[in-house]
């Protein structure tokens, strides 16, 4: 699942304008105003709360997911209240498996919370604990490769087209046997999609490269002309250029500054966008690209023993897994960086998500690895639209359920109805009935407690998305001891995984299924209309966008867990 930060929508709009001159069964017991469990009353209703007004400080924006909706008017998870609730209790350590792109396990805010396999002796090239993996000190790397190596990969639809090229390429419908017509139709559709995506990517790379050159040239010229004057809108606007490109660049810079950004930040965003679409050209949609480095057969689940213990790939590219891990468990109250949701946690790094679509085989084995090595919560911030070997992943999900492991999955960033559109992995083959009760699927929300509550990119679904959690402007760890804010349901999922780890730490006798429903049942309500993801102003009731119709709340979850444990 790609991070939503190749470039901001606002910046692109700015530069473009300038350059142009049956439901699943749930166990909720929520009443209209409160959820009542024995003698304890858990407040979930928010009808009387007005959204926060005024500009938030940088520090507030960076910490908003931890705020309390009742005192701050910001829909955070009430984390301070949660820790106050368990301050006199002793928690147990919970291992959280993070199946992702890789983690900077040397990061200053993560190094103390990384899981260490005490049954393994580092560097002796032996499987000391007989778990089937040699030198798996901090987890396992199913992608293979050398230390520091990034792993670009095709998307699943590209792999399908590549596999079927010998069968269908250059043929028409009249050439195809009746038994193959469905496959041929899918091949034709996917091939057309790839062609369109490649064209768009090529045009976008050229466009963004042109934007960047224009901005840099204009900025360099303006800085020299202004000399000691302030770089503000009035001073920039007073400069007149005969050169059309410089004049165009001037207006781009004025738009950037007006939006509250800087030329340097805009340049970085453009670099990210160029890299993003260049990867689409060179690997993700490139049919003849070969990315897999492990020399196994990805279509044979019995062909195991591949990969290595190098859970950290290229530090420059391990943004996603590092950011996710920080959200869950960055060292709390150590005076640096930021606080993760959960303490008493060890992060098990499982590298299985390349810069492209993950393989079903890798994910199935990654889930089993996490389960077999002690994880009680597994975060899965990835997904794709096609899954040729979905059964392997379904079997792994059932295996995790048997071993009482909770799987937390990001809903996806396509602003699509998950009840209709295909999205893998999932816990329902027909999108109606769950085959396991240990998966919680998470949509992304914003800090705005109004009609902009739901992130515009988030997938949703009354039957197939379980709850919403903070997923926009999420500040967390970046490689090389850095910190940055990015967004995506990939960021919402680890918020839930962190709360699940908190619950399992203080109430270890509760099952994975119970923890799932505690999180869903204890969430905050919002009985109003929100802007429907993927639309400009179409409204839809928030209650209809997920199974629970609720927002993650750690304080309520711990209260409900406390009563259930008794």
pLDDT digits (tens, 9 = 90+) for 260-288: 889 999 998 999 899 999 999 999 999 99
Taking 70 as the threshold, does the pLDDT of residue 312 lie above it? yes
The token pair that represents 87 in the structure block: 């301050």
- CB distance 480 to 60 below 8 Å: no
Looking at per-residue pLDDT, the higher value among 369 and 14 belongs to 369
Helices (H), 47-108: 58-63, 69-72, 79-85
Residue with tokens 């990015």: 486
305 φψ region: left (φ > 0), alpha (ψ -120 to 50), beta (else): left
What does the alpha-carbon distance between residue 390 and residue 395 come to, in Å, rounded to a whole number? 9
- Tell me: the pLDDT tens digits for 231-253? 999 999 999 999 999 999 999 99
Residue 12 is predicted with a pLDDT of: 56
Residue 499 CB neighbours (<10 A): 31
pLDDT at residue 259, rounded to an integer: 87
Fold topology of 67-153+291-565:
Rossmann fold (3.40.50)
Q: What is the mean pLDDT of the chain?
A: 92
Say if residues 551 and 526 touch (Cβ distance below 8 Å).
Answer: yes
**Predicted pLDDT at 37:** 43
- Read off the pLDDT of each residue in 429-451 and give the average, rounded to a whole number: 97
Q: Which pLDDT band, with edges at 50, 70 and 90, does 313 fall under?
A: confident
* Cβ atoms 253, 236 nearer than 8 A: yes
* Residues 502-520, mean pLDDT to the nearest whole number: 98
The per-residue pLDDT for range 98-112, each reduced to its tens digit, is: 999 999 999 999 999
- How far is 531 from 361, CA to CA, in rounded Å? 37
- Tally of residues, the chain: 566
Q: In which order are the strands placed within the sheet that holds 467-470?
A: 139-141, 345-351, 94-100, 377-380, 406-410, 439-445, 467-470, 550-551, 524-525
**Among the ranges given (312-316, 431-435, 441-445), the one the predictor scored with the smallest mean pLDDT:** 312-316
- Which of 128-142, 220-234, 404-418, 524-538 is predicted with the least confidence, judged by mean pLDDT? 220-234
Rg (CA), the chain: 24
Confidence grade of residue 316 (pLDDT, cut at 50, 70, 90): confident
pLDDT at 88 over 70: yes
Whether residue 294 is predicted with pLDDT greater than 70 in this model: the reply is: yes
Mean pLDDT value of segment 125-138:
96
> In the structure encoding, which two tokens stand for residue 467, read together?
């709850």
Domain boundaries along the sequence of the chain? 67-153+291-565, 156-284
pLDDT value of residue 13: 53
Would you state the pLDDT for residue 7?
45
**pLDDT band at 42, cuts 50/70/90?**
confident
pLDDT, residue 243, reads 92
Nearest CA-CA partner of 481 in 342, 336, 352? 336
Residue (of 342, 205, 335) closest to 276 by Cα position: 205
pLDDT in tens, 179-197: 999 999 999 999 999 999 9
Structure tokens at 208: 């963004």
d(CA 324, CA 348): 12
Q: Average pLDDT of 517-535?
A: 97
Neighbours of 272 (CB within 10 A): 17
Query: How many other C-beta atoms are found inside a 10 Å radius of the C-beta of residue 372?
Result: 14
H helix and E strand count, the chain? 15, 15
Task: For the chain, give the percent of residues with pLDDT over 70.
Answer: 93
Q: What is the DSSP letter of 388?
A: T
Q: Output the pLDDT for position 14.
A: 55
Q: 39 falls in which pLDDT band (50, 70, 90)?
A: low
**Cα separation of 381 and 98, whole Å?**
8
Confidence of residue 20 (pLDDT cuts 50, 70, 90): low
Return the exposure string of 504-530: e unless at least 16 CB atoms fall within 10 Å of the residue's CB, then b.
bbbbeebebbbbbbbbbbbbbbbeebb
The Cα 119–Cα 133 span in angstroms is 11
Q: Would you say 246 and 221 are in contact if contact means Cβ atoms under 8 Å apart?
A: yes
């Amino acid at each position: 699942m790609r991070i939503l930060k190749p470039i901001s929508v606002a910046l692109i709009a700015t530069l473009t304008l300038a350059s142009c001159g049956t439901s699943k069964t749930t166990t909720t017991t929520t009443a209209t105003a409160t959820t009542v469990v024995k003698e304890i009353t858990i407040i979930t209703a928010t009808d009387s709360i007005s959204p926060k007004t005024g500009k938030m400080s940088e520090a507030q924006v960076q910490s908003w997911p931890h705020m309390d909706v009742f005192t701050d008017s910001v829909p955070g998870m009430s984390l301070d209240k949660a820790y106050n609730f368990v301050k006199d209790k002793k928690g147990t350590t919970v291992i959280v498996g993070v199946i992702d792109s890789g983690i900077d396990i040397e990061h200053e805010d993560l190094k103390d919370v990384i899981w260490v396999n005490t049954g393994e002796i580092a560097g002796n090239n032996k499987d000391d604990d007989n778990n089937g993996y040699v030198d798996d000190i901090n987890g396992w790397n199913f992608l293979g490769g050398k230390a520091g190596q990034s792993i670009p990969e095709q998307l699943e639809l590209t792999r399908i087209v590549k596999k079927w090229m010998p069968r269908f390429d250059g043929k028409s419908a009249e050439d195809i046997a009746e038994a193959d017509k469905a496959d041929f139709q899918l091949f034709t559709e996917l091939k057309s999609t790839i062609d369109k995506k490649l064209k768009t990517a090529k045009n976008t790379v050229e466009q963004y490269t042109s934007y960047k050159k224009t901005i840099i040239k204009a900025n360099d010229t303006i800085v020299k002309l202004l000399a000691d004057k302030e770089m503000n809108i009035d001073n920039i606007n007073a400069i007149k250029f005969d050169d059309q490109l410089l004049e165009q660049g001037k207006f781009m810079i004025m738009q950037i500054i007006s939006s509250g950004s800087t030329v340097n930040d805009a340049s970085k965003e453009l670099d990210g966008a160029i890299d993003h679409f260049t990867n689409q050209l060179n690997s993700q949609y490139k049919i003849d690209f070969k990315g897999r480095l492990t020399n196994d057969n990805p279509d044979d689940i019995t062909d195991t023993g591949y990969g290595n213990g190098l859970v950290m790939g290229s530090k420059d590219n391990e943004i996603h897994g590092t950011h996710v891990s920080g959200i869950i468990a960055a060292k709390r109250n150590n005076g640096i960086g930021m606080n993760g949701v959960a303490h008493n946690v060890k992060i098990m790094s499982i590298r299985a998500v390349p810069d492209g679509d993950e393989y079903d085989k890798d994910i199935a084995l990654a889930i089993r690895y996490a389960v077999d090595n002690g994880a009680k919560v597994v975060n899965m911030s990835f997904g794709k639209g096609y899954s040729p070997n979905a059964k392997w992943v379904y079997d792994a999900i059932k295996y995790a359920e048997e071993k009482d492991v909770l799987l937390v999955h990001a809903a996806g960033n396509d602003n699509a109805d998950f009840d209709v559109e295909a999205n893998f992995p999932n816990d329902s083959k027909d999108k109606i009935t769950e085959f396991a009760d240990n998966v919680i699927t998470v949509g992304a929300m914003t800090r705005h407690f109004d009609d902009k509550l739901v992130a515009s990119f988030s997938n949703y679904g009354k039957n197939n998305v379980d709850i919403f959690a903070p997923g926009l402007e999420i500040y967390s760890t970046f490689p090389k001891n850095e910190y940055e804010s990015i967004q995506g349901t990939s960021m919402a999922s680890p918020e839930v995984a962190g709360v699940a780890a908190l619950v399992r730490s203080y109430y270890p006798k509760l099952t994975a299924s119970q923890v799932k429903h505690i999180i869903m049942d204890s969430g905050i309500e919002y009985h109003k209309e929100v802007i429907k993801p993927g639309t400009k102003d179409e409204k839809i009731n928030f209650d209809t966008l997920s199974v629970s119709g609720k927002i993650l709340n750690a304080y309520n979850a711990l209260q409900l867990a406390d009563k259930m444990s008794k």
